Every structure is written in structure tokens, then in C-alpha cells.
Structure 1
Amino acid sequence: MYKVLLADDERIILEGISSVIDWGSLETELVATARNGIEAYDKIVEHHPHIVISDIKMPGMDGLELAGKVRADFPDTQFIVLSGFGEFEYARCAMQHGVKNYLLKPCNEADIIETVTDAVNELKQREQERQLFEEIRYEQTIDTARKPCKQYSSIINEVVNIIYEHFSDKHLSLKWVAGEMLYMNADYLGKLFKQETGERFSGYLTKVRIEEAMKQIGQMDDVRVADLAERTGFGDNPQYFSQVFKKYTGVTPTEYRKAI
């Protein structure tokens, strides 16, 4: 069950929303309510809700301040703002604090259900992404453990070593390795590489580059996509790097950073 906190300084709205929604049917549980922003934040710290539904205008700390503070301290929390008809500018400002959903007051049961369902679906998607990343990390660990045991020929072992040593070079290619490093026919080397590894040279190189990018994202608090592209052999083409990264992992580099 996903925990929900509801904050509004108008008692009738607070009690109305609390009682009209069948929270359990939405896979949620209303764990707390609050009448102002300060009380809301204190209860957020106490209960760690997955979803916060908050009025945009409240005493003590308004909804915008609360959204900004929650985003900074609890970045995974889904935030839904309640706003009056004349407060759309407030709602738009809330988007800058990571708020993706808002409800226009007076809101009916169907609107609330739809918005909460969207928030729950977003939470589920994040959980699936985290699970995918954990599986990828596990596979990487297994691959790393097995790598010394792989019985490739001396030539293909040399090719693999070259890939790991030079993956950051955007000019690295099978033709370059064959002609400049091993003095072999590129077509023959490519067939031999595919035969022994089960992968084409280009696919193996891409895998190494993306896995290195994933490792660097995990090791650095803040790294620009353009820098990642440069460091992992994609040169000055961050857009192409992002496309390849998403094709390999299912998410963009930015989404991956947020999820780990």
C-alpha cells in the first residue's frame, strides 16, 4: 500500500476528501492529515508518505514552499497540489518544484481518483526501473566475475583488452584494431570475434561503453550527459549517447541517475 498525506487549511475540504475516497481501492492508505504547511512537513518526516496532496495556499508554509522542501528532502515523493481557479500561476510555479499533478478546487471524486491513480502508476514505474537497474547490476557483477574464466583465443583476448583500454576513443573500430593494432584482415577478425564471443565487435563495444557510463553515473553525484558521452567514446554527440543508453537500459541517463 502507498501511504498518502493530505494537507489543507479548510477543514471541510480536508474531511471531505478524507472520507469520500476509497483509499484502499487505489492501493493507498491515508496515514495523516494536516491543517498547515509546517504541520504537514512534520508529519511527512514522521510517516514518510509516498504521495502528498496539499493545498497551495496554507498558513505557516504554503504549498509551494512545502513542495520545494519535500523535493529536496524526499525526492521520491509524489506531490499533488490543490489550487483554486485564480491560483493557476501558483500551480505553474509548483511544476518547477517537481510537481506533476494538480487538482482544481472544487474537485470531484473522479478527479481525485484519476490524479492519485496517476501518482501510484508513477511510483510503480519507478519501482520497476529500480528493479531493472538492480538486475543489470547483478548481471554486471556476474559478468565481471566470469570474465577471467572465459576461454577466448589469444587474438580475441587481445581484442577484448583493447576494447576495455580504448573504449573512450570515439575512433575505436574493428577496422582500426585489425589494421593498426593487430595487422590482420578486418573481415576475418570480425568473423572470429563473433564466433568466439557470440557478439559483433560493434555491439560488444557499445555494451562496454554503456556499462562504463552506468558505473560513472553511480560513482559521481552530478555528471553532465555531454561529459559522459565524451568519456565513453560517443564524442560530442550527447543526443546519440542518450538514445543508445536508453535502448540498452530502457531509460535515459537522467532517469537512471534519479533512480539509483
Structure 2
Amino acid sequence: MYRMLIVDDERIIRETLSRHIDWAALDVQVIGTASNGLEAYDIIMDEYPDIVMTDIKMPGFSGLELLQRIKSLHPDIEFILLSGYGEFEYAQKAMQWGVRHYLLKPCSDEKIVASVQSVIEEISRRRMAEPQDASAAMQELGDSAILNLLNECIAQGDGSYDAIYAPYKKFLDFDNTPYELCYLYFLDPPSLQDALSQIRIFREKYTPGIPFYAIYVQQCLLFFFRSYHLEYDALDTYMTSLRLPLQEIPVEYKRVRYANLSDLMDYVNSRICHFATVQYSSGDSIVSICNYRNIIRQVERLTFSTFSKDSENSEHSLELLCELVGRVSSITFLKQLISTIIMLASSQCYAFTALEAAEFLIQINQMNSSEDILKKLVPQLHAIYSRFTAAKPEAQSLSDRVRAYVEKNLSDDDLSLKSIADNYLYMNVDYVSKKFQKETGQKFSAYLTGLRVQRAMELLKGADNDKVQSIAEMVGYGNNPQYFSHVFKKATGMTPSAYIKFSAGGNLS
């Protein structure tokens, strides 16, 4: 579902736009409304909508200023501008920032809907066409997360899988992103590799930015991928016309859309959990997932016990865990277990980062000897455990890691929670945002603004007016001193220059 923010200084327009149109029918969620640019900026920095529909001319911080500020930080957020008659010069400036959707107020529901649909199509095509720019480590996290989920859900059997999904919500969006699930029925085992290769050829040509995950069981190939709400006629045509020389009977093809990954995984897992072996692929290579139910459950239990502050036997659990994986003879299954252990450890121990986990898994997957793998694994587990036990309780807090990063990089104009989640924590930004608010009691935007204003107040005391620009740079507003003045005045009731005078004992009147 695409997320949209509506911004207008007139309450009646905000409410009409948010309630009068059936946004759900367009697969759009209105995440909120804002009455001015400053309010909108804070919401955007906390919620990261896909689309912002904003009035272009508002008192104080205008829609044009909002556009410029957000586009400099997050160019992928799309804007639809609303404007009154005679304000086309603002639209011309907006077009310099790549905005192509401009609506003259008042405008009909049909024009608004058409504009939103056009923006959604642009977003979808851009995301599908962009080659993956994620690092090998991030791709490894996604592949490992899906593989682990399948592994653990198969081990559990029927039932609710929510508890299994929970640790992986740091890496994947289970709730808000729709997925497409495709079936190839009656696919003979000798044709599996050929089918995967042909799907890869299609992906490289038409959808280079989308990872595909494939499962094969009982002559049925299922593959799924993030949906971008486009027509998939090209994919459907391609799949129904597959030529598989080793296939004795024609395959049958079907595609179904799911509202989110959680619903899709619930469906898939409930249907594959009874098989002894399931084959998985995220490319051409195929991994067999064996239903070693008891071993998987023991690994999960011992890993959680090892990395739990409440456990009285954590060190003993670590030793049992190392002994258990040391008895696994199948190198394929051993790698699957290690993936589960490392990702669960990363979810419990913030001192062991997601990036370190991904890089370690890449090294493990390149090894071909169980003995060599265990020689690398056991010292790594002890090292992670040492970090976990040595860390102070507050060091285990995700919000403390975020705040420490902010303190160190406060002068960075491009600092945002999304940049921290993507480039430092290697986690899903929605997870980080909710975790930060739960641990601190405030949203990230409020924390960041408060810290910047507080630091600015300290620096402005005893300063001269000609230092305002340099102080703005020191607290992360160097590329927009006017915005710095807006934010500072909203927080303190005074402009930076007035605060300098006030702090020096001057008269503000």
C-alpha cells in the first residue's frame, strides 16, 4: 500500500481530501495531514510517505520550501502540488526539482485520483527498473531472512507464525508491502533448473530491482516478489509461454496478489510444513530445506537462551549450542542452522550489527567444508557472546545507538532516521522508528529537532549575529539557514538573532 501525506493550511481542504476520496480503492493509505510545512516535515521524517500532496503557498514554511528540503534528503518521495490561480511561477520552480504533477484549486476528484494514479505508476516503474543498489551484505540479509523463515516455519508445523516473524521485522517489512505469488504447476524435477534460469533472464531484463524468492515442492514451483501495483501482463505472457524441453506435460501458471508478506508467508508455510524436503532458491542455485524439526527448535531455544539477559544458564546454553551444530553432518543444513543462529543473535545483541551478521554469513556460504565452517563459527559465537555480556544494559538499546550516531553526526545536513537505518543499522526504517519511539517516548523528528535547537542555543549564547550561519551549519541546517530560523523560532519563540540579543541581556522590544 502506498503511503500519502496531505498538507494544506485550510482545514476544510485537508479533511475533504483525506476523507472524501476512497483512497483504499487506490491502494493508498493517508498516513496523516499537516497544516504547514514545518509540521509536514516532521511527519515525513518519522513516517516516510511515498507521496506528499501539498499546497504550494502556505504561511511560514511553504510547500515549495518543504519540497526543496525533502527532495534534497529523499529524492524518491514524490510530490503533487496544489495551487491557487496565478501561482504558476511557483510551479515552475517546483518543476526544477522534478515535480510533474500540479493541480489548480479547486480541482475535481477525478483529476486528483488520476494524478495520484499517475504518480503511483511512476514510482512503481522506477523501482522496478532500478538495478539493485543494495550491498551484497544487504542482499544476503534478505535472502537469509526468507530462508530462515521457511526453515523455522517448517520446523514448527501448523499454527501461528507471528512469533517466528518477529525477529525478522528488523530486516523485512511484513505489514505494509504487497507481494505477488506465482505458481507453476506440474513442473517436473528435471525442468526445475531450466525454469529458474528462464525466470532469471526475465528478471534481468524487466525487473532488475526486484528480488525473487522461489520454493519448489511436489512438482509445484512458487516464486514471490514485492508488488509494485503494475499490470504484470509481460510476466504472465512470459510464464505461460515457457519452453521446457525436459517437461513431459505442459506446466500451468497462476498469479495471486497478497496484501503483505505476513499473509503470503502464512499461506505458503501452512502448505509446505508437512513435507520432508522443500527446495528454495533466490537465483539459479537451489538449497534443500530439510524438516529436521527437533534440531531446529533446539537451535532456536538455545540461541534465545544464550542471548537473553534474563537467562541464568546463558553460558551453558552457548556450549550446548556449539555442541549441537557440531553434530550436524549435512553441510547444507549446517549452513541453514548457522544462518538462523547468526540472525537471531543479531536481533538480540545490538553490539553485533546486522552488517557484521551479513558479512559473516557471506563468508560461511562460500565455504565447502563442515570442519572449516565450525572452526569459524564457534569462535565467532563466543565473540558475540562476550560482546553481549560485556555491554552495559543501555548499550543494548537500539535508541541509544541511534542517539549516539546523531550526536556524532549532528552537523550532517542529510541526517535522517532513514539514512541511519539504511546505512548504519542495516534495518527496516519502520521497525527502527517504532522501536525508537517505544524506547524513548518521542518520535525521532522531535528528538532530532530538540537536540539541534538545544545545541544551537548553547552556541548562540555570547555569539555575534554574523555567526548565525556558521552555527546553523554546526547543527545540521547549513544548506538552509531560513529553515533553521523557522525551526528555532517555533521552538523558542525567538529568531536566532533575537536569542543572541536576549541571552546577552538585551531588550527584545
Helix, strand or coil for the counterpart of 1:132?
A: coil
Q: Is the 8 A contact 1:71 1:98 kept in 2?
A: no
Which string of whole-angstrom CA distances, capped at 9 and with x for unpartnered residues, describes residues 163-210 of structure 1? Answer: xxxxxxxxxxxxxxxxxxxxxxxxxxxxxxxxxxxxxxxxxxxxxxxx
Give the distance between the partners of 2:60 and 2:49, measured in 1 at CA.
Answer: 20
Distance of aligned partners of 1:108 and 1:134 in 2 relative to their CA distance in 1, 3 Å threshold: closer
Q: Which residue of 2 aligns with 1:45?
A: 45
Q: Which residue of 2 aligns with 1:3?
A: 3
Mind listing any 5+ residue stretches in structure 2 that lack a counterpart? 131-206, 212-509
Cα shift at 1:109: 0.4
Cα shift at 1:8: 0.1
1:124 maps to a residue whose letter is: S
Distance of aligned partners of 1:6 and 1:134 in 2 relative to their CA distance in 1, 3 Å threshold: closer
Q: Which residue of 1 aligns with 2:208?
A: 132
Which string of whole-angstrom CA distances, capped at 9 and with x for unpartnered residues, describes residues 77-120 of structure 1? Answer: 11111001111111111111221101110011001000000010
Q: Which residue of 1 aligns with 2:54?
A: 54
Give the distance between the partners of 1:26 and 1:126, measured in 2 at CA.
Answer: 19
Give the distance between the partners of 1:134 and 1:36, measured in 2 at CA.
Answer: 36
Q: Which residue of 2 aligns with 1:99?
A: 99
1:19 maps to a residue whose letter is: R
Give the distance between the partners of 1:134 and 1:22, measured in 2 at CA.
Answer: 29
Cα shift at 1:60: 2.5
Distance of aligned partners of 1:20 and 1:134 in 2 relative to their CA distance in 1, 3 Å threshold: closer
Helix, strand or coil for the counterpart of 2:4?
A: strand
Which string of whole-angstrom CA distances, capped at 9 and with x for unpartnered residues, describes residues 2-37 of structure 1? Answer: 000000001111111111111111111000100000
Give the distance between the partners of 1:14 and 1:23, measured in 2 at CA.
Answer: 14
Helix, strand or coil for the counterpart of 1:124?
A: helix
TM-score relative to the length of structure 2: 0.26
Which string of whole-angstrom CA distances, capped at 9 and with x for unpartnered residues, describes residues 115-148 of structure 1? Answer: 000010011101211341567xxxxxxxxxxxxx
Give the distance between the partners of 1:115 and 1:133, measured in 2 at CA.
Answer: 25
1:18 maps to a residue whose letter is: S
Q: Which residue of 2 aligns with 1:112?
A: 112
Q: Is the 8 A contact 1:85 1:105 kept in 2?
A: yes
2:24 maps to a residue whose letter is: G
Give the distance between the partners of 1:66 and 1:97, measured in 2 at CA.
Answer: 12
Distance of aligned partners of 1:87 and 1:132 in 2 relative to their CA distance in 1, 3 Å threshold: same
1:11 maps to a residue whose letter is: R
Give the distance between the partners of 1:61 and 1:97, measured in 2 at CA.
Answer: 17
Give the distance between the partners of 1:127 and 1:9, measured in 2 at CA.
Answer: 32
Q: Is the 8 A contact 1:53 1:82 kept in 2?
A: yes
2:93 maps to a residue whose letter is: C
Q: What does 1:22-101 correspond to in 2, within 5 Å? A: 22-101=22-101
Give the distance between the partners of 2:124 and 2:85, measured in 1 at CA.
Answer: 31
2:16 maps to a residue whose letter is: G
Give the distance between the partners of 1:54 and 1:74, measured in 2 at CA.
Answer: 16
Give the distance between the partners of 2:92 and 2:107, measured in 1 at CA.
Answer: 18
Q: Is the 8 A contact 2:127 2:209 kept in 1?
A: no
Mind listing any 5+ residue stretches in structure 1 that lack a counterpart? 136-260
Q: Which residue of 1 aligns with 2:500?
A: none
Helix, strand or coil for the counterpart of 1:61?
A: coil
Give the distance between the partners of 2:56 and 2:39, measured in 1 at CA.
Answer: 14
Give the distance between the partners of 2:209 and 2:76, measured in 1 at CA.
Answer: 16
Give the distance between the partners of 2:124 and 2:96, measured in 1 at CA.
Answer: 23
Q: Is the 8 A contact 1:81 1:102 kept in 2?
A: yes
Give the distance between the partners of 2:38 and 2:106, measured in 1 at CA.
Answer: 24
Cα shift at 1:70: 1.1
Give the distance between the partners of 1:33 and 1:134, measured in 2 at CA.
Answer: 31
Q: Is the 8 A contact 2:128 2:210 kept in 1?
A: no
Helix, strand or coil for the counterpart of 1:81?
A: strand
Give the distance between the partners of 1:128 and 1:31, measured in 2 at CA.
Answer: 24
**Bigger mean CA deviation after superposition, 54-63 or 111-120:** 54-63
Which protein has the bigger helix share?
1
Q: Aligned Cα RMSD in Å?
A: 1.3
Give the distance between the partners of 2:108 and 2:40, measured in 1 at CA.
Answer: 23
Q: What does 1:242-257 correspond to in 2, within 5 Å? A: none
Distance of aligned partners of 1:46 and 1:133 in 2 relative to their CA distance in 1, 3 Å threshold: closer
Give the distance between the partners of 1:46 and 1:133, measured in 2 at CA.
Answer: 25
Is 1:17 matched up with 2:93? no
Give the distance between the partners of 2:60 and 2:33, measured in 1 at CA.
Answer: 15
Cα shift at 1:43: 0.3
